[in-house]
Amino acid sequence: QAKRLGRNQACIYAGAPHDDDPERLALETALRHALRDEQLDLHYQPQLDLRHGRIVGVEALLRWQHPKLGRIAPDRFIPIAEETGMIVAIGDWVLCRAIEQAAAWQRAGLPPLRMAVNLSARQLLQPELARRIEGLLDTAGLDPRLFGVEVTESMLIGNFDQAVQHLQALRTLGVEVSLDDFGTGYSSLSYLRRLPVDVVKIDRSLVPDVTALAEDVSITRAIITMAHQLQMKVLAEGVESEGQAVLLAANQCDQMQGYWFSAALPAAAVETMLRDGRQIDPALLNRRSRQR
């Protein structure tokens, strides 16, 4: 029935298999008001270069604070936003907000910093996506090289050709494309080779800790080697300890993000961090990498 309404019709029941779950329905209803009532916000998690230890970017992450329900995690509300189609409006708000923030930081004289935004599968289906992003960058006066998007492999599956076209168009502008959560899907070398991707983000489940077995470390190392052969950079996510950061640096991983350095923070806190020049001590990274 949803199909007959046409592809561009927002049909709230389309693909919502849980409309008998009262808790989910309550969240869905609440989410309809979240954008208008300004309950959504963006936090920003620093991404660091593992050679010099400097902050080179931030990832914008959605936060939803509901007056009665409290904080609701993205992993709970993003799937609802996806299934109901609300993600298109929410995603557009995220793009505007993140681009404006990044432009404001540049105007304030902060060091160059790339702003990365997570896209959703639905956004990749919008034929005007790349032009929309180009327009927003232009209006805000943000250099496209200071902007990036994150997509996952599963988003590309049903829609490979159009998704690839969008990503290609964005890269032509200078926007950086990252493949998020790498290692959780059916990742393969031949598949990765076909993707217009600048950065592979290793999922935190594949980021070894200091107690990891040699085999685990060799998997990480293999991903890094493979990505480098394809001229891609590698960012490790979910880095929670100094030991992990040092191990990654020693294995030529390019960048990292994670709670060890910082969780996602409100804009003002990130700004303070940048002004203070907070970074990883480069001696830590160099000393340990020479040991290996």
Of positions 12, 13, 69, 74, contacts ligand C2E by CB under 6 A = 74
Site string for Mg ion, 173-212 (x = CB under 5 A): -------xx-------------------------------
Q: Does 133 contact ligand C2E by CB under 6 A? A: no
Q: Does 176 contact ligand C2E by CB under 6 A? A: no
DSSP-assigned letter for residue 206: G
Choose the stretch contacting Mg ion; rule: CB under 5 A; options: 11-19, 113-121, 131-139, 272-280.
113-121
Least separation in angstroms between residue 184's CB and ligand C2E is 9
Give 181 or 192: the residue with its C-beta nearer to ligand C2E: 181
Of positions 92, 100, 240, 271, contacts ligand C2E by CB under 6 A = 240
Least separation in angstroms between residue 191's CB and Mg ion is 18
Q: Are strands 40-49 and 255-256 parallel, antiparallel or unpaired?
A: antiparallel
Of positions 47, 84, 101, 118, contacts ligand C2E by CB under 6 A = 118
Contacts of 240 (CB under 8 A, 6+ apart): 209, 258, 259, 260
**Alpha carbon separation from 164 to 58, 161, 199, 223 (Å, rounded):** 24, 5, 15, 22
Q: Does 120 contact ligand C2E by CB under 6 A? A: yes
Q: Are strands 114-118 and 176-182 parallel, antiparallel or unpaired?
A: unpaired
CB 166 within 8 Å of CB 147: no
CB 117 within 8 Å of CB 102: no
Give 83 or 150: the residue with its C-beta nearer to ligand C2E: 150
Give 229 or 237: the residue with its C-beta nearer to ligand C2E: 237
Contact of residue 235 among ligand C2E, Mg ion, none (CB under 5-8 Å per partner type): none
CB 42 within 8 Å of CB 240: no
Q: Does 180 contact ligand C2E by CB under 6 A? A: yes
**Alpha carbon separation from 235 to 54, 160, 231 (Å, rounded):** 14, 23, 13
Give 120 or 251: the residue with its C-beta nearer to ligand C2E: 120
Q: In this structure, how many other beta carbons lie within 10 angstroms of the beta carbon of residue 220?
A: 21
Q: Does 118 contact Mg ion by CB under 5 A? A: yes
CB 115 within 8 Å of CB 147: yes
Q: Does 153 contact ligand C2E by CB under 6 A? A: no
Give 201 or 274: the residue with its C-beta nearer to ligand C2E: 201
List the structure tokens of 73. 């995690």
Q: Helix 160-173 and helix 129-140: axis angle, to 10°? A: 20
User: 201 φ, ψ to 5°?
Assistant: -100, 110
As a residue count, the chain comes to 292
Taking CB under 6 A as the criterion, which residues in 76-115 touch ligand C2E? 78, 91, 94
Q: Does 258 contact ligand C2E by CB under 6 A? A: yes
Taking CB under 6 A as the criterion, which residues in 259-288 touch ligand C2E? 259, 264
DSSP-assigned letter for residue 207: S
For 288, counting Cβ atoms within 10 Å of its Cβ (0-12 exposed, 13-18 middle, 19+ buried), the class is middle
Residues that bind ligand C2E (CB under 6 A): 45, 61-62, 73-75, 78, 91, 94, 118-120, 150, 180-181, 204, 237-240, 258-259, 264
Residues that bind Mg ion (CB under 5 A): 118, 150, 180-181
